[in-house]
Amino acid sequence: MASNFWTQKTWIILGGLILGILATLLTKWGNPANMGICVACFYRVITGGIGLHRAGVVQYIRPEIMGFVFGALISAFAFGEFRPKGGSSPIIRFFLGAFFMIGALVFLGCPIRALIRLAGGDLNGITALLGVIVGAAIGIIFLKGGYNLGRAGRVSKIPALIIPLIMLGLLLLIVFKPHFLFFSQKGPGAQYAPILVSLLAGMFAGFVAQKTRMCFVGSWRDIMLVRDFYLFSGIAAFFVGVLVCNYALGNFASGFYHWGFEHQPVSHNNHLWNFLGMVLAGLTATLLGGCPLRQTILASEGDTDAGVTILGLIVGAAFAHNFLLASSPKGPGEFGPAAVIIGLIFCSVVGFLMMEREK
Partner 1 sequence: MVEIDVRGFGCPIPVVKTKKAIEKNPNEQITVLVETTVSKENVSRLAESKKYSVQVEETAGNEYRILLNPPGK
Applying CB under 8 A, the residues found at the interface with partner 1 are 1-2, 5, 8, 80-81, 83, 85, 88, 143-144, 148-149, 151-153, 213, 218, 221-222, 225-228, 230, 289-290, 298, 303, 305
Shortest distance, position 8 Cβ to partner 1, whole Å: 8
Question: What span, in angstroms and rounded, lies between the C-alpha atoms of 68 and 323?
Answer: 29
Q: Are strands 153-154 and 85-86 parallel, antiparallel or unpaired?
A: antiparallel
CA separation (Å) from 190 to 48, 60, 194, 201? 12, 7, 12, 19
Closest to partner 1 by CB, 118 or 298: 298
3-class DSSP state of 85: strand
Closest to partner 1 by CB, 54 or 154: 154
Give strand ranges (E) for the chain: 85-86, 153-154
Contacts of residue 4, Cβ cutoff 8 Å, sequence gap at least 6: none
Shortest distance, position 114 Cβ to partner 1, whole Å: 21
Closest to partner 1 by CB, 14 or 354: 354
CA separation (Å) from 66 to 84, 138, 151, 242, 339? 19, 32, 28, 22, 29
Helices (H), 177-270: 195-212, 218-226, 230-248
Shortest distance, position 163 Cβ to partner 1, whole Å: 16
Residue 132 contacts residue 276 (beta carbons within 8 Å): no
Q: Which of 172, 124, 167 is nearest to 307 (CA)?
A: 167
Shortest distance, position 289 Cβ to partner 1, whole Å: 4
Closest to partner 1 by CB, 81 or 134: 81
Shortest distance, position 222 Cβ to partner 1, whole Å: 7
Residue 116 contacts residue 242 (beta carbons within 8 Å): yes
Shortest distance, position 1 Cβ to partner 1, whole Å: 7
Closest to partner 1 by CB, 8 or 191: 8
3-class DSSP state of 328: strand
Shortest distance, position 39 Cβ to partner 1, whole Å: 17
Q: Kindly tell me the sign of the dihedral angle through the C-alpha atoms of 328, 332, 333, 334.
A: negative
Closest to partner 1 by CB, 1 or 91: 1
Gap between the terminal Cα atoms of the chain? 34
Closest to partner 1 by CB, 195 or 225: 225
Question: What span, in angstroms and rounded, lies between the C-alpha atoms of 235 and 238?
Answer: 5
Shortest distance, position 354 Cβ to partner 1, whole Å: 11
Residue 109 contacts residue 117 (beta carbons within 8 Å): yes
Closest to partner 1 by CB, 57 or 228: 228
